[in-house]
Amino acid sequence: MNRNQSLQLYVKENLSLYLFVSVIFITGVIFGAVMVNALSLEQKQEIMRYLGNFFSSVDQGGFMETNASFQQSFAMHIKWILIIWILGMSVIGLPLILVLDFLKGVLIGFTVGYLVGQLSWKGLLFALVSVAPQNLIIIPALLICSVTAMAFSIHMVKHRFMTRKGAFYEPFMRYSATILVSGVLLAGVALFEAHISPVMMKWVTPMLVTMSS
């Protein structure tokens, strides 16, 4: 079987899982955006005070040292997919993978929803430079890891009585390789967040400092 046939087979076998996981994630994004409207005035003011201090710090160049920033960012991303990897090796972990995808959607939806709701187009601009770029990699990586984990978990259920030597070894290696490749991609994301994101945020924070003060 050549590479194109393998890819077609993979898509055919997992398309429903990708659609399901994507719906869960998008539902989380919508829920997170709606949550912004549920905040009290005091809560919104408290978040805005925090953002005001953050914008001022960014405007003055007060960033974490790049190595520390990379380590913190990479640790956060790698923990997320390692949890998915572990959950994929147990049947009871399958629904928890969906919970993680939903929560990731909630975090993104709330962040962007709050910025746009409170700061209008300037908040959208800040979201475009601080949230969007890295999530163009993070979200697909997360969805691919989630679907691969769910597919492996389902495979274990279907073949729980099989004793053939390759019944679990080959799927497990493919599953682990997917997680490993995603980890490499997320290391690149962490580098971007440590070196490039601060520069991009510094471009737009001057116009936000006065608005949030």
- The three state secondary structure string of 152-203 is HHHHHHHCCCCCCCHHHHHHHHHHHHHHHHHHHHHHHHHHHHHHCHHHHHHH
* Residues 57-100: tens digit of each pLDDT: 877 766 667 888 889 999 999 999 999 999 998 878 889 999 99
Average pLDDT over residues 137-145: 94
Q: Are 189 and 133 in contact (CB under 8 A)?
A: no
Terminal-to-terminal C-alpha distance of the chain: 62
Query: Is 80 exceeded by the pLDDT of residue 164?
Result: no
Task: State residue 48's pLDDT score.
Answer: 86
Q: Contact at 8 Å (CB) between 27 and 102?
A: yes
> Among 116, 131, 119, 117, which residue's Cα sits nearest to residue 52?
119
The residue with tokens 């001022």 is 56
Give me the mean pLDDT over the 28-46 stretch.
91
Strands (E), the chain: none
What is the reported pTM? 0.87
149-160 per-position pLDDT tens digit: 999 988 887 776
CA distance 28 to 48: 23
Which of the four pLDDT bands, split at 50, 70 and 90, describes residue 167? low
